[in-house]
Structure 1
Amino acid sequence: MLVVDDDPDVARFVEVNLRSAGYAVTIAPDGEVALQLALELQPELVLLDVMMPRLDGFEVAQRLRGDPRTSSTSIIMLTAKALSADKVLGLSSGADDYIIKPFDPLELLARVKGTLRRAREMRALSPLTGLPGNIRIQEELRRRIADEQPFALLYADLNHFKAYNDHYGFVRGDRVIQLLGRLTAEIVHESEGPSGFVGHVGGDDFIMVLAPEAAEDAAAELCRRFDERRPLLYDPVDADRGYVEVEDRKGTPVRFPLLSLAVGVASTRNRRFTHVGEAVEVATEMKQHAKRRPGSAYSADRRSG
């Protein structure tokens, strides 16, 4: 953590309180030193005084945000001004939060913890869909296995997505991924409410975690809703003829079917999982079975063991 303040008493006050809460702290006496230390140390959070000589806090925040090496660093502004205009300027410069001087240790620590929590949650989300990514997926599955909760893991991805991307480009491909993300989230919410979970593994791969008894209905409904919206993803000529043409490496046109969905279902209904990898392996195997079926389809594991 980097504390930037030209007032040594304030810097020391902040340092002592942060260290007492278990944080590692480095102090920078001005903006120029802060920029150098930020590049060198890559701190998770910068607490940045607004009024400093040479470079003020607004300029330092803008430079941190403008450098790819520090653009994701969290920033809290320390300011003696309570004016709305200064708050707006601080936030528009890239600050995540601000604290008005004088402040007490409890407020300081609460804002630091809140800013770090939000930043960590954002880093665990897929930037394309806003859904939890692999870190959160692993945590969720580990928790359910450790607590011996009954659950079903649904693993979904798209058939012929590469051909779609090659034909229509990545912008429209991203829209397809976003659509699938919305559909998975809708179905989990409708089926499970807050007790369900949906995550974006990456690319066109998504997982859903819900009650075993709801799994197959959810998989079937996901396939149905995707197929219902599929015509909107294509130009009319491609939707009408039921395929797209993409040139192979030799320049020969190759026909590919329209997008469809494959969903694999692994469940604790007939078996017990002791590791995340086991559940994912079974769901992946079932997804491969679904891919061998025509159109959008799901396959559920009903084996015991």
Structure 2
Amino acid sequence: MTSYSIEGTGLNRLEAIKSEISNINSLIHNRPEPNDGIDSQQTGRTSITELEATRQTMQKLEEGWETIHQNNMINYRKQKAANELLKRLQHTGQLHYTACQQLEHSEADLREIQTSIGQIQNTALNLINTLAALEQQIDQANREHQIKEFEQWKENEEKELMNEIAARRTLLVEKENKLKKEYEEYESIQKKKKLELYEATFNAELEDYKRRRETEISSLYNRRNMTSVQTSLEQLQLVDENKEDLDDFLGTSEANKTTTTITTRSDIKESKDDSSSSEDERADILRDEDYDDV
């Protein structure tokens, strides 16, 4: 309403300006010609008055024109704002119209949506079942693959283990052969050393036995000489006066003889025992050597 009142006021002013301009034009065209001096003076005065009025009128016209121009600019801006608001209102109305149409068809659309939702649910259930079955198949395939990998790994490990066992057995056989060879060499050396030791011991014992035998033989020979001397003394004829001394001497000789006889017998027995022990030792040595050879 305000824009309409402003536009009406501007039009009224334009009409007034037009009327004033037509009055000025009429005055200019209807101005009388200067016939005499009096008329010219009156005409000059009238012209000055008319010019003043015209100036004032022109000033009013300019002011009115500026006001009209400013009002037109304001009205133009308001018109643009009004057009923008009208466009928005038209767009909003179109949206409301579209919403009303959608609401009119919403029941059918809802039915279709419900049907679509049911189909989507069924499809989702089928997809879930398919995914579950696929997951089971994947798990089964993964399990079988793991079992195959484990069996392959187990087979490879067993092969490596058998190869390692074979290699170690070869090393053990080589080491055993080496140790057997070293043991045989050691046994041979030990047998030689034992044989040398037994021979040295046997020779030493034999020499000792020979010395003891010679000593025993020489002692037996000396004892036999003493026995023959005593026998010759017993066969002598004793004088009466020396009989007691002889008896004392003979008694001492008999005691010595008995002691010598006992000693001789014991020495002979010891030499026999030593001989038998030496022979036993020699037999033991020979048996040990035979055992070592075996």
TM over 0.5: no
TM-score (norm 2): 0.16
Q: Which has the higher contact order (CA 8 A, sep 6+)?
A: 2
Which one has a bigger Cα radius of gyration?
Answer: 2
Greater fraction helix: 2
